[in-house]
C-alpha cells in the first residue's frame, strides 16, 4: 500500500492493552492508526485529523461509546464507526448497548474478543 493511500483508523478504548494490541495488529495490515484513551480525546483527534474509520469501545468512563457515536455522527456524519465491547462488568447490558450503538449510527459491531480476521473483514467491508 502506498503511504498516501493507507486508510486511517482511530481506535478509542480506555484499556491501554486493547489500544496497543489493536494498533499493532492494524499497522501490520497497512493501516495508519491513531489512538485515543477516551471519548473526549477522540473528538479532539477527529477535529484535527479526520480518520477514514473509527473503532470505539462502548463501555468507557466519563463519555461512553454511545455518547461518542452521537457526537461523531454530528461532527463527521460520513465517517463509519465500529462499536466494540466485551462487556466486562457490564456484561448484562452488552447486547443492549451494542444494538443501541447500531441504532445511533454505528456501521458495525464487534464482540470482544474478536479475531484479527473478523476485524479485517469488517474494516474491508466498510472501506470499499
| Mean pLDDT estimate for the chain | 89
The domain segmentation of the chain, as residue ranges, is: 1-88
The per-residue pLDDT for range 66-99, each reduced to its tens digit, is 999 999 999 999 999 999 987 655 556 767 778 8
pTM above 0.85, yes or no: yes
- Put residue 87 in one of left, alpha, beta given phi > 0 → left and psi -120 to 50 → alpha: left
- Location of C-alpha cell 454511545: 66
Cα 74 from Cα 88, distance rounded (Å): 28
Out of 3.40.50.2300, 3.30.420.10, 3.10.20.30, 3.40.47.10, select the CATH number for domain 1-88. 3.40.50.2300
* Residue 3 confidence class, pLDDT cut points 50, 70, 90: very low
Burial of 40 (C-beta count, 10 Å sphere; 0-12/13-18/19+): middle
Amino acid at each position: 500500500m502506498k503511504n498516501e493511500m493507507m486508510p486511517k483508523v482511530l481506535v478509542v478504548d480506555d484499556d491501554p492493552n486493547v489500544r496497543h494490541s489493536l494498533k499493532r495488529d492494524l499497522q501490520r495490515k497497512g493501516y495508519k492508526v491513531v489512538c485515543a484513551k477516551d471519548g473526549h480525546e477522540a473528538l479532539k483527534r477527529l477535529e484535527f485529523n479526520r480518520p477514514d474509520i473509527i473503532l470505539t469501545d462502548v463501555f468507557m468512563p466519563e463519555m461512553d461509546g454511545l455518547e461518542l457515536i452521537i457526537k461523531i455522527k454530528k461532527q463527521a456524519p460520513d465517517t463509519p464507526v465500529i462499536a466494540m465491547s466485551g462487556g466486562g462488568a457490564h456484561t448484562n447490558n452488552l447486547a443492549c448497548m451494542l444494538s443501541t450503538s447500531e441504532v445511533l449510527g454505528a456501521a458495525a459491531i464487534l464482540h470482544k474478543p474478536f479475531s484479527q480476521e473478523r476485524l479485517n473483514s469488517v474494516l474491508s467491508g466498510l472501506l470499499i
